[in-house]
């Protein structure tokens, strides 16, 4: 389905309704299920929207927050890639083990 058709369908389904935040979220979910074809009736869409959401899978990178910005540590082809803002440093796993041995304690 084209995005324009889907957006028009959802917009038409929500127009003219005065709802609170939770009711609007539920109504949006129902209308979206109907417009995308994932449900054939309002009852089926309501049942799908009432199911608990599954947690997103964890990513392979680790992010460490700090007051001066976010540092991302992730595997790379040559070892470990450390990113902070626009700065990227690629170091070997052996060097990373020297810098941060606590990450590899067993």
The pLDDT of residue 26 is above 60 = yes
The pLDDT of residue 57 is above 80 = no
Average pLDDT over residues 34-60: 86
**Residue 10, C-beta contacts closer than 8 angstroms, at least 6 positions apart:** 28, 31, 32, 35
Between 79 and 63, the more confident residue is 79
The domain locations on the chain are 3-50, 62-104
C-alpha dihedral sign at 80, 58, 24, 42? positive
């Amino acid at each position: 389905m084209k995005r324009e058709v889907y957006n028009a369908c959802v917009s038409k389904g929500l127009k003219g309704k005065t709802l609170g935040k939770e009711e609007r979220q539920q109504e949006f979910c129902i209308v979206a299920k109907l417009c995308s074809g994932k449900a054939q009736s309002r009852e089926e869409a309501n049942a799908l929207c009432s199911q608990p959401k599954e947690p997103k899978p964890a990513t392979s990178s680790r992010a460490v927050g700090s007051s001066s910005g976010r540092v991302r540590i992730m595997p790379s082809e040559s070892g470990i890639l450390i990113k902070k803002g626009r700065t990227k440093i690629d170091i070997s796993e052996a060097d990373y083990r020297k810098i941060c041995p606590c990450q590899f304690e067993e």
